[in-house]
Amino acid sequence: MELQGRRVIVTGAAGGIGSAIAAACARQGALVAAVDRIEAAIGPEDGLPAEAITPFIADLTEPQACSELIAEVGESLGEIDGLVNCAGVMRRGDLLEVDDDDWAVTFGVNVDAVMRLCRAALPSLIAAESGAIVNIASQWGLQPARGHIAYNSSKAAVASLTRSLAVDFGAQGVRANSICPGEILTPMLQQKLDDNGIAESELASTIPLGRLGRPSEVAELTTFLLSDRASFISGAAIEIAGAQQVG
């Protein structure tokens, strides 16, 4: 129960990785605000105590949504000491294929909402004296994948934003790290496989460990980074990709 007594916001909690993170945080004893634009279906049916997970519906691209969410969660659960930004979208295409809308939507969810939530949460995280931020970036933010310029660029921004937070607020006790997953089997990845007519086994064969990653494996790393066990880890961008190289 390494997150006992902690209060953690997890965005993208209706998604493949976010729901696994929310459940893992609750299993480790945290009170979790599970945020998504659609209702996150996690709770007692997953063997978690009813009070462990409180769902919040928000479209994080709306300018006021992030500060309102932090205030609402504070009133409902108490001041937070952990923030996990996992909500994300992927629009495909190279620079001649993506339009302004693709770029704006990608950066709106993947970068602007992360920045606004971090900004709104910082006073609580500083007051907590051991506040922690975990932002879910992507391996493609470190090594760009072909034909995904908006997504790659947005995730590079997330990793850089996270390092900047670690540098600026470390003296106030806030740790900030990003996780850079490779191919993790979730609805987002399944959609990509379906769109491109690629079999799961074909993609798995490009990964040295021979399989796709599981959301629970990203969740395990997230709860570790939120916990005091990671007390000297800050400003890191940690790949979890089964040794796959993007090429």
Rule CB under 6 A: which of 187-216 touch ligand NAD? 187-189
Q: Segment 101-130, which members bind ligand NAD (CB under 6 A)?
A: 109
Which one of the spans 16-24, 26-34, 73-81, 169-177 is the region binding ligand NAD (CB under 6 A)? 16-24
247 contacts: CB under 8 Å, gap ≥ 6 = none
* Interaction of residue 153 with ligand NAD, rule CB under 6 A: no
1 C-beta neighbours (distance < 10 Å), count? 10
**Which residue in 10, 136, 174, 176 binds ligand NAD (CB under 6 A)?**
136
Q: Which of 151, 156, 165, 185 is catalytic?
A: 151
Minimal CA–CA distance to 188: which of 236, 151, 226? 151
Closest by Cα among 106, 169, 105, 166 to 134: 166
Size of the chain, expressed as the number of residues it contains? 247
Q: List the interface residues with ligand NAD, window 223-242 (CB under 6 A).
A: none
* CB nearer ligand NAD, residue 152 or residue 234: 152
Span near ligand NAD by CB under 6 A; candidates 15-23, 43-51, 121-129, 194-202: 15-23
Question: Contact with ligand NAD (CB under 6 A): which of 28, 106, 124, 138?
Answer: 138
101 noted as active-site residue: no
Q: In what order do the strands lie in the sheet with 132-136?
A: 53-57, 31-36, 7-11, 82-85, 132-136, 175-181, 237-240
**What beta strand segments (E) does 12-162 contain?**
31-36, 53-57, 82-85, 132-136
What are the start-end ranges of the E strands in 87-228?
132-136, 175-181
Separation between Cα atoms, residue 172 and residue 31, nearest integer Å: 23
Q: How far is the CB of 51 from ligand NAD (least distance, A)?
A: 23
CB atoms within 10 A of CB 220: 15
135 binds ligand NAD (CB under 6 A): no
Binding characters for ligand NAD, 54-93, by CB under 6 A (x = yes): ----xxxx------------------------xxxx----
Nearer to ligand NAD, 1 or 198 (CB): 198
Judge whether 185 and 233 are in contact, CB under 8 Å.
no
d(CA 49, CA 64): 31
What are the angstrom distances between the C-alpha of 150 and each of 72, 99, 101, 139? 31, 10, 11, 14
Minimum CB distance to ligand NAD, residue 172 (Å) = 26
Query: Shortest distance, CB of residue 151 to ligand NAD, whole angstroms?
Result: 7
Quick one: which of 18, 74, 82, 242 contacts ligand NAD (CB under 6 A)? 18
Could you say whether residue 16 binds ligand NAD (CB under 6 A)? yes
**Residues designated catalytic:** 151
Which residues of the shown chain bind ligand NAD in the complex (CB under 6 A)?
A: 12, 14-18, 36-38, 58-61, 86-89, 109, 136, 138, 181, 183-184, 186-189
